[in-house]
């Protein structure tokens, strides 16, 4: 099984959610396009602390913390979807982390969400609460539905906002997979704690 972790915008918590998924499902991790350093692959490695999850090398590791098409241009690189090929994951579940939101450009014609579509991955959407996040979440879900992509569910990240969450779940028909509250420190213990919660309700 392949899951694609995306979000309603950048810095929503995709990397933390990806680490939680890897821990809960004993899955491998892969971020095909990395923009900015330190790399999220290194962060996930440090948070997992296990030997069963393989963190695969990026196809593109770019230095500039910007949209992939901008970061690639700064290094005279062209990103092409056809060059992004699945790593060997030996039938393990694979967690793919996107870059930014779903319509972040890879190049002039292709977008981050096209990676999920290429590999027929189920989408896991991270939504964090701020003024305007309901709109951003519903717009993202509308695009996922338009593309007929399978969505496993939504992870809400941040201070609880029951009214917003209820509205989003009702309008989209998607399930809530997990709620992550603000944490003083993101570490292996925190990842394990949420992984247990996620695993317990994964197939409900």
Q: If we measure between CA atoms, which residue out of 118, 123, 124, 119 comes closest to residue 89? A: 119
pLDDT, residue 86, reads 95
Arithmetic mean of pLDDT over the chain: 95
15 pairs with which residues across the strands? Answer: none
Compute the average pLDDT of residues 186-197: 95
Model confidence pLDDT, tens digit, residues 148-172? 999 999 999 999 999 999 999 999 9
pLDDT, residue 181, reads 95
Q: Is 184 part of the annotated catalytic residue set?
A: no
Show Cβ contacts of residue 152 under 8 Å, excluding neighbours closer than 6 positions.
3, 122, 123, 124, 175, 177
Name the band, by pLDDT with cuts 50, 70 and 90, for residue 47: very high
97 pairs with which residues across the strands? Answer: 5
Tell me how far apart the alpha carbons of residues 204 and 202 are, in angstroms, rounded to a whole number.
Answer: 6
Tell me how far apart the alpha carbons of residues 29 and 193 are, in angstroms, rounded to a whole number.
Answer: 19
pLDDT, residue 11, reads 85
In a 3-state reduction of DSSP, which class is residue 168?
A: helix
Does pLDDT of 118 surpass 80?
Answer: yes
Compute the average pLDDT of residues 54-77: 96
Name the band, by pLDDT with cuts 50, 70 and 90, for residue 48: very high
Helix axes of 188-200 and 14-25: crossing angle, nearest 10 degrees? 60
pLDDT, residue 71, reads 96
pLDDT, residue 51, reads 72
Tell me how far apart the alpha carbons of residues 68 and 51 are, in angstroms, rounded to a whole number.
Answer: 30
In a 3-state reduction of DSSP, which class is residue 152?
A: strand
Which of 31, 145, 175, 181 is catalytic? The answer is 31
pLDDT, residue 116, reads 98
Name the band, by pLDDT with cuts 50, 70 and 90, for residue 173: very high
Domains, the chain, in order of start with CATH, read: 2-200 (3.40.50.300)
Cβ neighbours of 199 (radius 10 Å): 15
Compute the average pLDDT of residues 67-76: 96
Compute the average pLDDT of residues 45-51: 86
Does pLDDT of 90 surpass 80?
Answer: no
pLDDT, residue 148, reads 97
Show Cβ contacts of residue 37 under 8 Å, excluding neighbours closer than 6 positions.
63, 65
Does pLDDT of 16 surpass 90?
Answer: yes
């Amino acid at each position: 099984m392949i899951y694609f972790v995306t979000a309603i915008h950048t810095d929503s918590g995709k990397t933390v959610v990806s680490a939680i998924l890897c821990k809960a499902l004993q899955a491998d991790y892969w971020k095909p396009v990395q923009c900015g350093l330190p790399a999220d692959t290194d962060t996930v490695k440090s948070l997992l602390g296990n030997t069963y999850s393989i963190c695969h090398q990026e196809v593109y590791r770019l230095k500039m913390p910007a949209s992939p098409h901008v970061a690639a241009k700064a290094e005279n690189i062209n990103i092409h979807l056809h060059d992004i090929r699945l790593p060997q994951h030996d039938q393990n579940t694979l967690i793919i982390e996107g870059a930014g939101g779903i319509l972040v450009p890879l190049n002039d014609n292709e977008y981050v969400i096209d990676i999920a579509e290429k590999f027929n991955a189920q989408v896991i959407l991270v939504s964090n609460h701020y003024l305007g996040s309901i709109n951003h979440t519903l717009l993202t879900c509308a695009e996922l539905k338009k593309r007929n992509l399978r969505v496993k569910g939504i992870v809400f990240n941040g201070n609880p906002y029951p009214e917003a969450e209820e509205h989003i779940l009702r309008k989209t028909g998607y399930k809530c997979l997990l709620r992550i509250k603000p944490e003083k420190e993101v570490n292996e213990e925190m990842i394990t704690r949420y992984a247990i919660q996620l695993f317990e309700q994964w197939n409900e």
